[in-house]
């Protein structure tokens, strides 16, 4: 297995548990929460395919449970631009310097957390024409970081007013994205890294625990305060990624 100390493995377990708690609550967000912490204990080129294994498991679980609620029209509209964006993002993950990816991830996480804390969403549906920029950007970030979910969540939230249909459609969208990335990553050799399957197997119980916690929180309590704490933690994580990326880049 890629050599992680007990402390690093503990950080990875905590990151995955928290990430999938958020996923259980909202239907997205596992990677944007877990990846910043994982990036401090392993390379991004290991962390991203590692999280993809978990994405496949949990997106399949959510899609199966809520299959009847999926908005197939909006899903079909988004799939082509999303696929193009994922293909375009692959060379960046393959060839960009690690420190540059860390800085890009830090900026993305910080921007998303700031928008979540202080942004104001305009009411009303989004125009269908936004599907291409949404799909291209969301697809590229899905490939490079596995964090495209927030991008197309913003679009779909303005297209699907019903919460259950939105969660079901997001789960299916994440599953399709994960399957496409599985093909891309397998062909590019990311899954041939030594120890990745063992590490993924160790982290699956953490993801299951987080998903169960998040699903219960979604059903039985107010999420606003919990989410606010998470976004504040992400701002700290964003700053640490930027510092690390800029220091490594020197």
- C-alpha–C-alpha distance, residues 39 and 32, integer Å: 11
Buried b / exposed e along 148-161 (16+ C-beta atoms within 10 A): bbbbbbbbbebbbe
**pLDDT for 127:** 85
- C-alpha–C-alpha distance, residues 6 and 166, integer Å: 39
**pLDDT for 3:** 75
pTM score > 0.85 for this model?
Answer: yes
Tens of each residue's pLDDT in the chain, 250 residues: 567 899 999 999 999 999 998 888 776 778 888 999 999 999 999 999 999 999 888 878 766 666 778 899 999 999 999 999 999 999 999 999 999 999 999 999 899 889 888 876 555 677 888 999 999 999 999 999 988 888 888 888 888 988 778 878 888 888 889 999 999 999 999 999 988 999 999 999 999 999 888 888 766 555 577 677 777 878 888 998 898 888 865 5
- C-alpha–C-alpha distance, residues 166 and 36, integer Å: 26
The closest of 16, 4, 56 to 195, measured between CA atoms, is 4
What DSSP character marks residue 189?
T
**pLDDT for 36:** 92
- Compute φ and ψ for 178, nearest 5 degrees: -65, -40
Greatest CA separation for the chain? 52
The closest of 60, 85, 76, 74 to 156, measured between CA atoms, is 74
């Amino acid at each position: 297995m890629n050599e992680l100390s007990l402390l690093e493995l503990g950080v990875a377990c905590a990151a995955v548990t928290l990430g999938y708690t958020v996923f259980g609550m909202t239907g997205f967000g596992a990677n944007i929460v877990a990846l910043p912490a994982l990036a401090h204990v392993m390379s991004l080129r290991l962390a991203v395919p590692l999280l993809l294994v978990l994405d496949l498991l949990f997106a399949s679980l959510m899609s199966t449970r809520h299959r009847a609620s999926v908005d197939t029209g909006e899903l079909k509209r988004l799939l082509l631009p999303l696929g193009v964006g994922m293909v375009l993002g692959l060379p960046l993950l393959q060839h960009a310097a690690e420190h540059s990816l860390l800085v890009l991830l830090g900026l993305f996480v910080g921007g998303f957390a700031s928008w979540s804390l202080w942004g104001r969403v305009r009411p009303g549906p989004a125009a269908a024409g936004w599907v291409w920029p949404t799909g291209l950007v969301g697809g590229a970030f899905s490939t490079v970081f596995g964090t495209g979910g927030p991008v197309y969540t913003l679009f779909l939230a303005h297209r699907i007013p019903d919460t259950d249909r939105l969660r079901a459609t997001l789960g299916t969208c994440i599953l399709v994205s994960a399957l496409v990335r599985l093909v891309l990553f397998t062909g590019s050799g990311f899954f041939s890294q030594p120890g990745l399957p063992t590490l993924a197997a160790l982290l699956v119980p953490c993801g299951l625990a987080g998903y169960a916690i998040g699903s219960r929180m979604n059903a039985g309590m107010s999420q606003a305060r919990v989410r606010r704490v998470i976004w504040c933690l992400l701002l700290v994580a964003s700053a640490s990624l930027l510092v690390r990326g800029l220091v490594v880049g020197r």
